[in-house]
Amino acid sequence: MQIAFAILVALTLASAIAAVSLRNLVHCALCLALAFAGLAALYLQLGAQFVGFAQILVYVGAVAILVVFAILLTRGGESAPQPVISRSWVAGIAVAVLVFGVLTKAMLSSSLAHREPPPKPGPAVREIGNQLMTRYVLPLEAVGLLLTAATIGASIIAMQDAGRKQPDPQSVASKPANARLRRDAEEFETPTG
């Protein structure tokens, strides 16, 4: 138990740090995916099966892919020649450390930090389903709406505006992946690296 936890934490934190510190953006993205996977594993260890799998499905399966695509579309694929750390990095680090310190202080000073877990709760998936459909049905609807809006908005924002580049209407179809793919084809005619 402890060992597994230690391994998972080490993996997660290491890959998270790598994700924000590596030079090559694609590596960053991959490490990010790894960190997400580690987090999912932590969820599983905490007995939140559904959330864990959802985490993998959404983050590793979708968000990481999105990030990768964005990186390639913004030609971040090759390692940046210029320094990747912004000029005011000292201040940034300082702020981060400050926040960390404050958080730890808050945590350690809180009473329930040393609480032990109660006996494992029963399988929660069916329960989650019921709750989603009954108590949380309104938030669920809202989230559905949000996701739809986000899909449409994202595809419209990222779409090559039709007038300029893609005269044919069907390639500006209701899907970024389509436009996306074509754009890759355009942007990566020349071998990169």
Please give the residues from 138 up to 167 whose contact with another protein meets the rule CB under 8 A.
139, 143, 146-147, 149-151, 153-155, 157-158, 160
Q: Is 66 a binder of another protein (CB under 8 A)?
A: yes
Work out how close the CB of 138 gets to another protein at its nearest, in angstroms, rounded to a whole number.
11
Q: Is 84 a binder of another protein (CB under 8 A)?
A: yes
Number of residues counted as binding another protein (CB under 8 A): 134
Work out how close the CB of 11 gets to another protein at its nearest, in angstroms, rounded to a whole number.
11
Q: Is 112 a binder of another protein (CB under 8 A)?
A: yes
Q: Is 7 a binder of another protein (CB under 8 A)?
A: no
How far, in Å, CA of 148 to CA of 141, rounded?
Answer: 11
Q: Is 30 a binder of another protein (CB under 8 A)?
A: yes
Work out how close the CB of 162 gets to another protein at its nearest, in angstroms, rounded to a whole number.
14
Q: Is 99 a binder of another protein (CB under 8 A)?
A: yes
Helix (H) or strand (E) segment spanning residue 179 = helix 176-187
Helix (H) or strand (E) segment spanning residue 112 = none
Q: Is 50 a binder of another protein (CB under 8 A)?
A: yes
How far, in Å, CA of 134 to CA of 136, rounded?
Answer: 6
Report whether 178 contacts 171 (CB < 8 A): yes
Q: Which long-range CB contacts under 8 A does 8-12 form with residues at least 24 apart?
A: 8/38, 8/41, 8/42, 8/45, 9/38, 9/42, 11/38, 12/38, 12/39, 12/41, 12/42
Q: Is 137 a binder of another protein (CB under 8 A)?
A: no
Report whether 176 contacts 152 (CB < 8 A): no
Work out how close the CB of 62 gets to another protein at its nearest, in angstroms, rounded to a whole number.
6
The one among 7, 125, 133, 137 contacting another protein by CB under 8 A: 125
